[in-house]
Amino acid sequence: MERVCCPNSIESLYLSLCKSVRYVSLPRATTTSGGGQNLKSLTIHISSCGNLKSINQLSNSTHLTTLFISFCRNMELFSDLHQLSNLNWLRIEGCESIESFPNLQLPNLTNLDVNYCKNMKAFGDLQVPNLIRWSIDNCENIESCPDLQLSNLAMLKDMCIMRCRMIDASFPRGLWPPNLCSLTTGGLKKPISEWGYQNFPPSLSIVPPFPFFSYISDCGQI
């Protein structure tokens, strides 16, 4: 079976270990009660669904709150993610075909995970004013983070940047989210001690780093 076609009444979708599936088609927007508008949680957890390439009609699922796409090596990232205005958790991991992360305008997004995307090199414009937690892990070819945008993320509390070995002089402007409480780094091209002056917010307190990573946290506000 190469294509999965979902009914209008679908509310959640979970796919795993589907080696032959290449396309998933969500309902078309034809009525106020159908067309994917009932879909609340779309989870594609993939350990052996390597042939999945796309999810059609995703932009119709305007009530979608959770989207996980894991280990789809041929998955093409969607250009219409910005239409998922109610999305609050986005996880993209192990998607080897992704070379750049799209622009995001997601006002309700609170959690963003981008992990094990080994060919991704850059992020697009991120307009995610309510983001609380952001993890970037094992993206070995990413060269920089959108540090100019960090100071606009007033809600961001927890940030992790791990095992991204091509990141060099990651935060040359020293700009950080004003209410950041914890920062975990490690496995970058330069250790945090060589980043130069960083304008860390008062909400951060520094804990002595372990040998392989740095951890900065405000334990008093947990």
Rounded to whole angstroms, the Cα distance separating 29 from 35 reads 4
Q: Is the pLDDT of residue 9 over 70?
A: yes
Whole-number pLDDT of residue 119: 92
Rounded to whole angstroms, the Cα distance separating 144 from 129 reads 20
Rounded to whole angstroms, the Cα distance separating 161 from 173 reads 17
Whole-number pLDDT of residue 180: 92
Residue bearing tokens 């917010």: 201
Rounded to whole angstroms, the Cα distance separating 205 from 207 reads 7
Indicate the helix (H) or strand (E) that contains 126.
strand 126-127
pLDDT tens per residue, range 34-89: 556 677 776 656 666 888 888 888 887 888 888 888 888 888 777 778 788 889 99
**Sorting pLDDT into bands at 50, 70 and 90, what band is 135?**
very high
> Helix, strand or coil for residue 28?
coil
pTM for this entry: 0.85
**Average pLDDT score over residue span 179-207:** 80
Whole-number pLDDT of residue 220: 45
Rounded to whole angstroms, the Cα distance separating 76 from 143 reads 20
Question: Among residues of the chain, what percentage have pLDDT more than 70?
Answer: 82
Q: In the predicted model, what is the mean pLDDT of the chain?
A: 80
Burial 135-147 (b: 16+ CB within 10 A, else e): bbbbbeebebbee
pLDDT tens per residue, range 138-178: 998 988 777 778 888 999 999 888 888 887 655 656 778 99
Give whole-number Cα distances, 170 to 76, 165, 193, in Å: 27, 11, 12
